[in-house]
Structure 1
Amino acid sequence: MDIPEYTRLKNNRDFGLVFRRGQYYPGRHVVLHANRSGAAQLRLGVAVSRKVRGAVLRNRLKRRLREAFRRLDVLLPNGYDLILTAKATAAKAPFDELQNEIKGLLARSKLLVHGR
């Protein structure tokens, strides 16, 4: 199951806004950028470094990040725009490690809601 189209950040303007105004949380394989949007829902953008060689590998990594995020989606509040940027090391990282890192970054950003 993929993230629905309407919850994705797609255009450059939205990405630029999150990069300029949002908070930055670096991890070993993934960097999280978070910005309060005030929108009715949570939106996610995924970017992969061009250092990950090959479009097929970059697209596969994007799918893995979206799936890891989807599994945590119910634990997150609405009204934020998030961008997950994968570093080159993420291409070789196991899925569980990526998911745990994303969960840790969300906890550091204080966006993870534990009571749900």
Structure 2
Amino acid sequence: MKKEGFPKSLRIKNKKEWDEVIKKGERFSSHKLLVIRLKTEEKENKFGVALSSGLKGAVKRNRIKRILREILRRNKDRFLSGEKVILIYRSKVTEISYHEILNEFSGLF
């Protein structure tokens, strides 16, 4: 396994897991980001990424998703073992840098 990867085993994949985290999780929000965390009995953390439905243009949407996954990958040690975390980008601004999103994320904890 790649050391710097974001493997599928670390992703929240099915709707049941998503709904559980959204319904029961603890929320932290800023102007552009919403983080929902749920402590579970599992050993590994799992992560999910979502965007506001109003973002137009697949290229821009996918770029923001890549940035969000990279932020989660580089900061996964900040979360307790067994947490499920969903990171939601809720701004309609698509011209945003990695560092701007990272600053918003860092301000949440």
Q: TM-score range by the shorter chain?
A: 0.7 to 0.9
The corresponding residue for 1:92 is: 95
1:18–1:81 contact (8 Å) kept in structure 2: yes
Residue identity opposite 1:47 in structure 2: A
Task: Report the RMSD for the aligned CA atoms in angstroms.
Answer: 1.5
Select 2:61's aligned residue among 58, 62, 68. 58
- Taking the aligned partners of 1:19 and 1:88, their CA distance within structure 2 comes to 18
Instruction: Give runs of ≥4 in structure 1 deviating > 6 Å.
Output: none
Answering whether residue 82 of structure 2 is matched by residue 79 of structure 1, we say: yes
Tell which deviates more after alignment, 22-31 or 67-76: 67-76
Residue identity opposite 2:99 in structure 1: D
Deviations 1:55-88 (A, max 9, x none): 2221211110011121112333211000001112
2:48–2:87 contact (8 Å) kept in structure 1: yes
More helix by share: 1
What SS does structure 2 have at the residue aligned with 1:92? Answer: coil
- Taking the aligned partners of 1:93 and 1:21, their CA distance within structure 2 comes to 30
The corresponding residue for 2:6 is: 3
- Taking the aligned partners of 2:25 and 2:59, their CA distance within structure 1 comes to 29
Residue identity opposite 1:5 in structure 2: K
The corresponding residue for 1:112 is: none
Task: Give the alignment's TM-score, normalised by structure 1.
Answer: 0.82
Task: Give the alignment's TM-score, normalised by structure 2.
Answer: 0.87
Total equivalences in the alignment: 106
Residue identity opposite 2:94 in structure 1: A
- Taking the aligned partners of 1:66 and 1:24, their CA distance within structure 2 comes to 18
> Which consecutive unaligned segments of at least 5 residues does structure 1 have?
108-116
- Taking the aligned partners of 1:58 and 1:38, their CA distance within structure 2 comes to 33
Answering whether residue 35 of structure 2 is matched by residue 35 of structure 1, we say: no
Question: 1:90: Cα distance to partner?
Answer: 5.1
Q: % of aligned pairs identical? A: 29
